[in-house]
Amino acid sequence: MTLSRRRFLATTSAAVAACALPGRAWATYDQSRFPGFKVGLQSYSLRGFDVDKAIKVAGELGSAHLEFFSGHFPLNASDEQIAAMKKKMSDQGMVILGHGVNGFSKNHEANEKVFKFAKAAGIKNISADPSPDSFDSLDKLVDKYDIRIAIHNHGPSHRYNTALDVLNAVKAHDPRIGACADLGHFIRSGEDPVEVIRLLKGRLFGIHLKDFAEQKERTKGVILGKGHLDTVGVFRALRQVEFPADGCLSLEYEENPQDPVADIHECLEIASDACKTAAS
């Protein structure tokens, strides 16, 4: 049974207040919550926190991984900083499965710096907004480093607005160049997230679990399932397309950045219920 927001806020306010205290945790990652999947967070959801608090809160929320954005884990991090970040994550029982969204151009040397960073950090998936002239470079780099590029859609007016826009961009390129499907932005583009997942089969390496109130360019982000996202259908479709075990499946909640923890908790509970229903 899904834990309602009202009940959660009423019964766990002390836990929310204690989430920054050493040794207090709501959960560690429990595979039974998400049968068949490793579900984590895009760290942008916790952008109102410094990176140490973001890691701690993500661990307490029971995340399997973090997909970092550069504000928390910069691309120019030194080898020592990368090693320290990997230890912080390990100490919380998490791994780093993704990083982004990162831009790429025809500048092969600049592109390769991103791949070198990802290789050192053990990152398998780079969510990306590549310019059309970057693909020759990216073909070489995904082959050299065996790291995936996952094109992230940003909704109406963006060059990768629809699933077909992404597929048309990648179809002539290395099979490790594919999609990070931001389901919320596909809602904004008037697309059905479940059908998008099916359409991207074989090229789908990342998911941003996100929901919006309306199918239009300017709308409000909402708790999963409160808008246009069929959460059970999403997990059923991910099973059908055999989403890779080392793909980057991340909740991204963009609202209330200074105090998002209760909302993120509710989103994860809803996602867990949906995942279990899809598996039954």
Model confidence at 244: pLDDT above 90:
yes
Look at residue 154 and tell me if it is in a domain. Answer: yes
Q: Give 138-179 pLDDT, tens digit per residue.
A: 999 999 999 999 999 999 999 999 999 999 999 999 999 999
What pLDDT does 31 receive?
84
Output the pLDDT for position 27: 53
Please give the average per-residue pLDDT across 121-148, as a whole number: 98
pLDDT at 20: 41
Give domain status of residue 17, yes or no: no
Neighbours of 143 (CB within 10 A): 11
Q: Is residue 129 part of a domain?
A: yes
Whether residue 183 lies inside any domain: the answer is yes
Residue 264 CB coordination number (10 Å): 22
Looking at the DSSP assignment, which residues form a beta bridge with residue 130? 104
pLDDT computed for residue 29 by the predictor: 77
Residue 81 structure tokens: 């900083």
Paired with 104 in beta bridges are: 130
**pLDDT by residue (tens digit) across 36-64?**
999 999 999 999 999 999 999 999 999 99
| Residue 256: inside a domain | yes
Burial 241-253, CB ≥16 within 10 A → b, else e = eebbeebbbbbbb
Range of the structural domain that residue 145 is part of: 39-278
Give the CATH number of the domain where residue 44 resides: 3.20.20.150
How far is residue 168's CA from residue 153's CA, in Å, rounded to a whole number?
A: 13
What pLDDT is recorded for position 114?
Answer: 98
pLDDT at 14 over 80: no
Domain count, the chain: 1
- pLDDT of 195 reads 98
Tokens found for residue 92: 């919380």
Angstrom distances, CA of residue 234 to CA of 71, 231, 238, 244: 29, 5, 6, 15
10 assigned to some structural domain: no
